[in-house]
Amino acid sequence: MTPGDWRALHLGISAILVSLSIVDRTTPSKEKPVDIRQYSKSEPFLVVQQALGTCVVAAGLLQMFDVLIARPELFDSPWTSSQRRAAFLADGCVLLRLWAMGTLNNDFTFVVRSPPSNSLCTKGPYEILLHPGYAGIIGWAIFQCSWLLDEKAPFIDIITRGMDILLEHKLNLYALVTLDLGKFMDLSWFLFSGVLVVTALLLPPGLHKRMQKEEEELKKTFGDKFDEYRANRWRLVPFLY
């Protein structure tokens, strides 16, 4: 496989894993089916999460087309150790989120509420972390940014050209949608990288508030038992936080 093929493979893996990590796997009751739209006002995180997931999947497919079919010659530069490390860690972080979701099984929910089983999870990643699912999605955003914006990666020049195209056309929608294929792909790389950077910056403070809400709910439900549970675990990163 060429370096470009490996880059396309990583983009595809990221798109698949992120799409799986935003699927609500809870079993809705027949009387009250789960509808994520009902939480759009009270749980804005859900809307952001769905939008991000959709963006990642769409961008991943478009970028794979660019890497494998449209302009493969642009993506054949060798991988550096930092690029390999960032790609491995990004995919590993999404797997951590999926592991957390699978461990909770039907107790997993996108909505902040008491655990349906009325018990604290002590298995899998929850033996070490309070919020492994959040650790996974934050880690993915950070390491995916690192992979895209690595100074020796082929993406920097493409993203820069995309920014120049956007500035040149001054948000003229007609001009942007009638670009030739190469310029359109440059623009798509820039827009996706911009969304990813903003996500990596805003996710930690946004999820910090959500973690506080979850811990307050767990404290109400389990009292001192939750205090003991929390005291024996890190929130997101072992040995750091």
CA 71 – CA 4 distance, rounded (Å): 10
- DSSP bridge pairs for 234: 129
pTM of the model: 0.81
Q: Minimal CA–CA distance to 113: which of 19, 47, 43?
A: 43
pLDDT at 171: 67
- Per-residue DSSP letter, 69: I
Q: Which amino acid is located at 73 in the chain?
A: E
Q: Is a pLDDT exceeding 50 seen at residue 132?
A: yes
Long-range contacts of 115-124 (CB under 8 A, 24+ apart): 115/218, 115/221, 118/221, 120/218, 120/222, 120/225, 120/226, 120/229, 122/229, 124/99, 124/100
Using one digit for the tens of pLDDT, what is the confidence trace for 22-45? Answer: 665 544 444 344 443 334 444 556
Q: Which has the higher per-residue pLDDT, 27 or 171?
A: 171
pLDDT at 42: 47
Q: Is a pLDDT exceeding 80 seen at residue 168?
A: yes
- Per-residue DSSP letter, 108: -
- Of 49-63, 64-78, 92-106, minimum mean pLDDT range: 49-63
Mean pLDDT, the chain, whole residue set: 81
Residue 69 burial class via C-beta count within 10 angstroms: exposed 0-12, middle 13-18, buried 19 and up: exposed
- Whether 87 and 147 have beta carbons less than 8 Å apart is answered as yes
As a whole number of Å, the end-to-end CA separation of the chain is 39
pLDDT at 36: 38
CA 135 – CA 100 distance, rounded (Å): 10
Q: Is a pLDDT exceeding 50 seen at residue 207?
A: yes
Using one digit for the tens of pLDDT, what is the confidence trace for 86-97? Answer: 999 999 999 999
CA 16 – CA 114 distance, rounded (Å): 29
- Of 12-26, 49-63, 72-86, 182-196, minimum mean pLDDT range: 12-26
Q: Is a pLDDT exceeding 80 seen at residue 116?
A: no
Three-state DSSP class for 15? helix
Q: Could you tell me the residue ranges of all domains in the chain?
A: 78-231
pLDDT at 43: 55
